[in-house]
Amino acid sequence: MTNADGSQPRPRRRAPAGAAVLREDVTEAIRAAVFEELAAVGYARMSIEGIARRAGVGKTAVYRRWRSKLHLVLDIVSAIAVQGLPAPDTGSLEGDLRLLYEVTARALRHPVASQIIPDLQAEAARNPEIAELMQKALREGQEGVALKIVAAAERRGEIRTGVDDELALDLISGPLYWRSVVIRSPKLPKGYLAALARATTGALTAL
């Protein structure tokens, strides 16, 4: 077949086989496998081979998405930190804090999270890169939610405008993480979250 001018038509280029279209179901399977592998063997012994085996994929599928196990774990930690917490809107500062604490406490008590977080903290103490990236990921998630709560309280006139954001973040996030992650209290006392929300409200009001 020739063109109108008598020349031969150029062959159409076909998309290369296996073009970089990453299947979301495979990505989710890998993410789930990371949690299982971390809980089972810890970060130090975790391997791309083990993750791939749990996910039912080849190592190439993992490396196409993340270049190392460090980047894989930090990507997942970052996603959870940013997306895993709600921005409460109950109509009051104390109500917002109570809801935030309830959701956070449930997440921290999850069997997998309770194993993974201390393990990553231990690795962070030995690896400055893990420490820096993990701090950034967790801080961004907590900061985004906490500052929305503070801004809403300012608009309602519950606290003064222009409070110290850093101090407010410490007051909101510190106590529950101290008890759940550092001390690793197996069970929160009855009424603890309500009391914590009430105390934090008082502290923020006093700033």
d(CA 34, CA 51): 6
Q: Of 39-53, 65-79, 97-111, 119-133, which one has max mean pLDDT?
A: 39-53
pLDDT tens digit string along 56-102? 999 999 999 998 888 887 777 666 655 556 678 899 999 999 999 99
Does the structure show a pLDDT above 80 at 163? yes
Residues 123, 128, 129, 135, CA torsion sign: positive
Structure tokens at 146: 């906490």
Give phi and psi for 164, each to the nearest 5.
Answer: -70, 115
123 close to 130: Cβ distance less than 8 angstroms: yes
The Cα-based distances of 93 to 32, 41, 166, 197 in angstroms read 35, 41, 17, 9
Q: Of 5 and 44, which is predicted with more confidence?
A: 44
pLDDT tens digit string along 8-40? 544 444 444 444 577 899 999 998 898 888 878
pLDDT reported for residue 58: 93
Q: Of 71 and 149, which is predicted with more confidence?
A: 149
Give the orientation angle of helix 192-206 with respect to helix 165-177, to 10 degrees: 160
pLDDT reported for residue 74: 74
How many alpha carbons fall within 13 Å on the CB side of residue 64?
16
pLDDT reported for residue 15: 42
Give which of 31, 20, 74 is closest to 55, Cα–Cα.
Answer: 31
